[in-house]
Amino acid sequence: MTTTMQEAKKRLFGTDGIRGIPGKHPLDDGTLVRVGRALGSFLRAHSAHPRVVIGMDTRESGPHIAGEIARGLVAAGAEPVSAGIVTTPGVAWLVRRDKFAAGVVISASHNPYHDNGVKLISSDGMKFPDATEAEIERMMEELPEGSRLPSAALPEDTRLHDEYVEALQACVLPGAKFKGMKVVLDCANGAASHLAPDLFAALGCDVTAINHEPDGRNINAGCGSLHTEGLRQRVVETGAALGVAFDGDADRALFSTASGKLVDGDGILFTMARHMKEQGTLKGPAVVGTSMANLGLDKALSKIGLKLTRVDVGDRYVLEEMQRTGANLGGEQSGHILFLDDATTGDGMLTAIKMASLVSISGPLEALVAGLKIFPQRLENVRVASKPALNSLPDVSRLLAEAERTLGSSGRVVLRYSGTEPLVRVMVEAETEEDVRHWTETLATALRKSIGT
């Protein structure tokens, strides 16, 4: 059994960049300008004329945030270039492909439209390390507040979209044939709304796109990877071979089988690991997952001679472990999957290409995941007023120890704070639904009494 007890870090840059409500700190204009100025100054120390690509999802606040960051970049002597509406992994790919000094992604991923965020991408297409983000924060603190800088030009290069889609087409698995293959794409009214249908149509698929008409406020609204009911229903209605659900910035993807069964990141890792091992393309004996991966994935991988290496939740930690061990496949239950031979970050459209390829080669997805038996699992979010160390809460610690003793090796409990929201997540996994329900409710109640709002 694995137990994770994390403390939230009090930093401007959290586990997934800066998150907040536009217009309020830390997404107020003054802070955004200082982010641009500090980033530009940091890059100027390494390049005389650094170019920075800025991409965003479809939130109505995106263009304004981009403009404020561009204002700061120009003041620091950097050149901003807009990729317009594009996925987070698309920005990461463009940074490397076109040799930008850095990238800026304006997105709050799967959050509602009224949230937004800023992620910084280094020249190697990966998130900046913690030490660099800390240095940028330090530089921001030294900048004056309230200074009004002139507006900055932010030219959009639409060719960047075509380059990215063409690169994804080159990642199709050998032997895949897409002509006439029916797929349903739920684009979450987000960054994939035009890119994903264009990509699959270019491959020859018969595409049905849903939730692909963003209006600035409907991103993730009852659709996408957090709400797959509509996708699964449409797959069954249309007789599609596969359904794909993206989130707002399309760095993750979940799937529907032809019968409407949901396949999450655990199913993706299992099917891809088995295929890659058979083809001799899997590097090493392990797949990297997180503390949230289902126990069934451990057991299914073990049966085919592989093991699951677990790390803390977060693509940053998955990537670090993959780089440390040389693994080339890893990811999260949420559908954030890393194929390190193809990309430096999780990419929902890349994952969709790989899974669609596999279905075209090996047959229905439902049969491909049949070897994965999922243990009952429940995740409950408890809203909190503060984030003290979880092991400092006596009642929570006592009940957690009792749960561990009771479940033994046939269950797991994971308690962790969200890195982007005032939540503590309670995940319980066991052989019976009754044990899952009992311990989830018991621990969630104890947390609400101790630190809940």
- Residue 437 resides in a domain: yes
Give 231-252 pLDDT, tens digit per residue. 999 999 999 999 999 999 999 9
**Among the listed residues 357, 345, 199, 365, the one whose alpha carbon sits nearest the alpha carbon of residue 279:** 357
CA separation for the pair 184, 137 (Å, rounded): 42
Are 403 and 381 found together in one domain?
Answer: yes
CA separation for the pair 101, 124 (Å, rounded): 9
Contact between 234 and 182 under an 8 Å Cβ cutoff? The reply is no
Are 23 and 142 found together in one domain?
Answer: yes
- Concatenated DSSP letters of 245-272: EE-TT-S-EEEE-TTS-EE-HHHHHHHH
HEC per residue, 284-325: CCEEEEECCCCHHHHHHHHHCCCEEEEECCCHHHHHHHHHHH
- Residue 216 resides in a domain: yes
Are 141 and 209 found together in one domain?
Answer: no
Are 120 and 24 found together in one domain?
Answer: yes
Last residue of a domain, one of 237, 262, 287: 262
- Residue 72 resides in a domain: yes
Preceding omega of 80 cis (within 30 degrees of 0): no
Are 107 and 230 found together in one domain?
Answer: no
**Among the listed residues 173, 167, 189, the one whose alpha carbon sits nearest the alpha carbon of residue 113:** 189
Tokens of 115: 């949230």
Instruction: State which amino acid sits at residue 213.
Output: E
Contact between 167 and 61 under an 8 Å Cβ cutoff? The reply is no
Residue bearing tokens 């406020």: 217
- Residue 384 resides in a domain: yes
- Concatenated DSSP letters of 66-80: HHHHHHHHHHTT-EE
Q: How many domains does the chain have?
A: 4
Are 151 and 23 found together in one domain?
Answer: yes
Are 446 and 385 found together in one domain?
Answer: yes
Last residue of a domain, one of 234, 262, 290: 262
Give 313-349 pLDDT, tens digit per residue. 888 899 999 999 999 999 999 999 999 999 999 999 9
In this structure, the strands spanning 182-186 and 242-246 are parallel
Preceding omega of 26 cis (within 30 degrees of 0): yes
CATH number of residue 111's parent domain: 3.40.120.10
Last residue of a domain, one of 232, 262, 292: 262
Alpha-helical (H) ranges within 375-432 are 394-407
- Residue 53 resides in a domain: yes
- Residue 356 resides in a domain: no
- Residue 137 resides in a domain: yes
pLDDT score for 151 = 83
> Which residue numbers are catalytic?
109
pLDDT score for 207 = 98
Those residues with Cβ within 8 angstroms of residue 49's Cβ, 6 or more apart along the chain or in another chain: 77, 78, 79
Are 281 and 185 found together in one domain?
Answer: no
pLDDT score for 150 = 82
Are 405 and 439 found together in one domain?
Answer: yes
pLDDT score for 2 = 43
Are 384 and 436 found together in one domain?
Answer: yes
Are 287 and 237 found together in one domain?
Answer: no
DSSP 101: S
CA separation for the pair 196, 250 (Å, rounded): 9
CATH number of residue 430's parent domain: 3.30.310.50
pLDDT score for 357 = 98
Give 410-431 pLDDT, tens digit per residue. 899 999 998 778 999 999 999 8
pLDDT score for 147 = 61
- Residue 358 resides in a domain: no
In this structure, the strands spanning 18-20 and 116-121 are antiparallel
Are 23 and 153 found together in one domain?
Answer: yes
Task: Please list the pLDDT of the chain residue by residue as tens digits (453 residues).
Answer: 444 433 334 368 887 899 999 999 999 999 999 999 999 999 999 999 999 999 999 999 999 999 999 999 999 999 999 999 999 999 999 999 999 999 999 999 999 999 999 999 999 999 998 899 999 999 999 987 756 788 888 888 878 888 999 999 999 999 999 999 999 999 999 999 999 999 999 999 999 999 999 999 999 999 999 999 999 999 999 999 999 999 999 999 999 999 999 999 999 999 999 999 999 999 999 999 998 899 999 999 999 999 999 999 888 899 999 999 999 999 999 999 999 999 999 999 999 999 999 999 999 999 999 999 999 999 999 999 999 999 999 999 999 999 999 998 889 999 999 877 899 999 999 989 999 999 999 999 999 999 998
**Host domain of residue 227:** 179-262
pLDDT score for 153 = 82
**Among the listed residues 13, 111, 20, the one whose alpha carbon sits nearest the alpha carbon of residue 65:** 20
